[in-house]
C-alpha cells in the first residue's frame, strides 16, 4: 500500500530548465537583499586576476556582469532560455558570452580552458543526483588551466533522516501572500528536497513555481575534488571571508588545480 514514504508515481516533472522557467521573471526582484553580490564579485575577481571565467548556471548574470566589469572574460552556461533572455536584456552588447545547455551535458561545455570555474548559489545542488554532481566536478577540472580554481558556493544541509513536509509563509503584502512548500526525503543515494513557491493574489489564479535540490555535504565535495586532482585552498562562511561554521548556513569553497597536473 502506498504511504507517505513512497515517492509519487508518474513522470518526473523536473528537468534542467525547471528552476529557470519557475523564477527567471522574478529572480532579480525577489532575491537581491539575500545575495552579497559586491563581495562575491570582489572575491572572485581577485581570484581570477582578469582571466577567463566559466560560470555554471549563470542565470540572469548577477555575478557574471560584475566580473566582466572587473576585467574578467566571462562565459555563462545555463539550461534556461528564460534566464539567458533576462541576462541579455541587461547585457545588450553581449559582453558576457552565453551558452544554452545543461551543465550535466559535457558536450555543451566550452572547449577553451579557463582560469576559474564558478558554481555559485547552490548550482551544484540543482543537478539531478550525486552522479551528475561528481561529473560536474570532474568536468570542471578538465576545463581549468593548471593553476586555475573551482569555486563552489553551497548551503550546508541539515540531516534528512525521515521524510518531512513543511509549509511556511515567505511574505504577506497588500498584493498577496507567498508560501513555500517543501518535501524532504532521505534515500539510499542521498537526500532530495522538492518544493514550490506558491503565490496567491486576489482575482488571479494561483501561481506555483516548483524547484528541486539534492543536498551535498562539504566533506563529500572535498572527496570528489581530491579524487579529481583538486586541492582545497580556502573555505569560508560567505563571500566576505566570514569564518566557516560547519553548523552554519553555507560555505564558499575554493579548489586549486595544481600546476603540472
Kindly report the CATH number assigned to the domain that includes residue 200.
2.20.25.570
Left if phi > 0, otherwise alpha if psi is -120 to 50, otherwise beta: which for 234? beta
| Same domain, residue pair 134 and 225 | yes
Domain carrying residue 176: 164-213
Left if phi > 0, otherwise alpha if psi is -120 to 50, otherwise beta: which for 94? left
pLDDT at residue 231 in the model: 98
Q: What is the number of other CB atoms lying within 10 angstroms of the CB of residue 218? A: 18
| Residue 49 forms part of a structural domain | yes
For the purposes of burial, counting CB atoms within 10 Å of the CB of 8, is it exposed (0-12), middle (13-18) or buried (19 or more)? exposed
| Residue 261 forms part of a structural domain | no
d(CA 101, CA 81): 9
Decide if 85 contacts 120 (C-beta within 8 A).
Answer: no
| Same domain, residue pair 146 and 84 | yes
| Residue 8 forms part of a structural domain | no
Q: Is the pLDDT of residue 4 over 80?
A: no
Note the pLDDT tens digit of each residue in 128-178: 999 999 999 999 999 999 999 999 999 999 888 899 999 999 999 998 999
pLDDT at residue 250 in the model: 95
Cα 160–Cα 227–Cα 63 angle in degrees, nearest 5: 70
Decide if 127 contacts 105 (C-beta within 8 A).
Answer: no
| Same domain, residue pair 235 and 108 | yes
Left if phi > 0, otherwise alpha if psi is -120 to 50, otherwise beta: which for 138? alpha
Note the pLDDT tens digit of each residue in 62-83: 999 999 999 999 999 999 999 9
| Same domain, residue pair 195 and 229 | no
d(CA 240, CA 221): 21
pLDDT at residue 32 in the model: 75
According to DSSP, the residues that pair with 114 across neighbouring strands are 144
Label the pairing between strands 52-56 and 114-119: parallel
| Residue 3 forms part of a structural domain | no
Count of structural domains within the chain: 2
Task: Return the C-alpha cell found at 183.
Answer: 518535501
| Same domain, residue pair 53 and 31 | yes
| Same domain, residue pair 207 and 220 | no
d(CA 176, CA 206): 10
| Residue 6 forms part of a structural domain | no
| Residue 117 forms part of a structural domain | yes
> 172: Cβ–Cβ under 8 A, 6 or more apart, which residues?
178
Q: Can you give the pTM of this predicted structure?
A: 0.90
| Same domain, residue pair 135 and 185 | no
Percent of the chain with pLDDT over 90: 83
Question: In Å, how far from its chain's centre is CA 11?
Answer: 24
Q: Is the dihedral of CA 120, 125, 130, 132 positive or negative?
A: negative
Residue holding cell 553551497?
A: 154
d(CA 45, CA 68): 9
Across 22-31, 46-55, 91-100, 186-195, least confident range? 186-195
Amino acid at each position: 500500500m502506498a504511504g507517505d514514504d513512497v515517492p509519487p508515481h508518474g513522470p518526473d516533472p523536473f528537468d534542467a530548465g525547471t528552476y529557470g522557467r519557475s523564477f527567471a521573471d522574478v529572480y532579480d526582484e525577489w532575491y537581491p537583499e539575500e545575495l552579497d553580490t559586491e563581495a562575491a564579485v570582489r572575491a572572485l575577481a581577485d581570484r581570477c586576476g582578469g582571466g577567463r571565467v566559466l560560470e555554471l548556471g549563470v542565470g540572469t548574470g548577477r555575478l557574471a556582469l560584475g566580473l566582466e566589469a572587473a576585467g574578467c572574460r566571462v562565459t555563462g552556461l545555463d539550461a534556461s532560455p528564460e534566464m539567458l533572455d533576462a541576462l541579455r536584456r541587461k547585457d545588450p552588447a553581449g559582453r558576457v558570452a552565453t551558452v544554452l545547455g545543461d551543465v550535466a551535458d559535457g558536450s555543451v561545455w566550452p572547449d577553451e580552458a579557463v582560469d576559474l570555474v564558478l558554481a555559485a548559489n547552490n548550482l551544484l545542488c540543482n543537478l539531478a543526483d550525486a552522479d551528475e554532481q561528481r561529473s560536474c566536478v570532474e568536468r570542471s577540472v578538465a576545463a581549468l588551466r593548471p593553476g586555475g580554481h573551482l569555486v563552489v558556493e553551497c548551503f550546508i544541509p541539515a540531516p534528512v533522516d525521515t521524510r518531512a513536509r513543511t509549509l511556511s509563509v515567505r511574505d504577506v503584502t497588500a498584493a498577496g501572500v507567498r508560501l513555500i512548500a517543501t518535501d524532504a526525503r532521505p534515500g539510499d543515494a542521498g537526500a532530495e528536497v522538492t518544493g514550490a513557491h506558491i503565490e496567491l493574489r486576489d482575482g488571479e489564479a494561483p501561481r506555483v513555481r516548483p524547484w528541486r535540490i539534492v543536498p551535498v555535504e562539504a566533506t563529500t565535495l572535498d572527496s570528489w575534488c581530491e579524487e579529481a586532482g583538486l586541492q582545497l585552498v580556502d573555505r569560508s562562511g560567505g563571500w566576505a571571508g566570514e569564518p566557516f561554521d560547519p553548523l552554519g548556513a553555507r560555505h564558499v569553497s575554493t579548489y586549486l588545480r595544481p600546476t603540472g597536473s
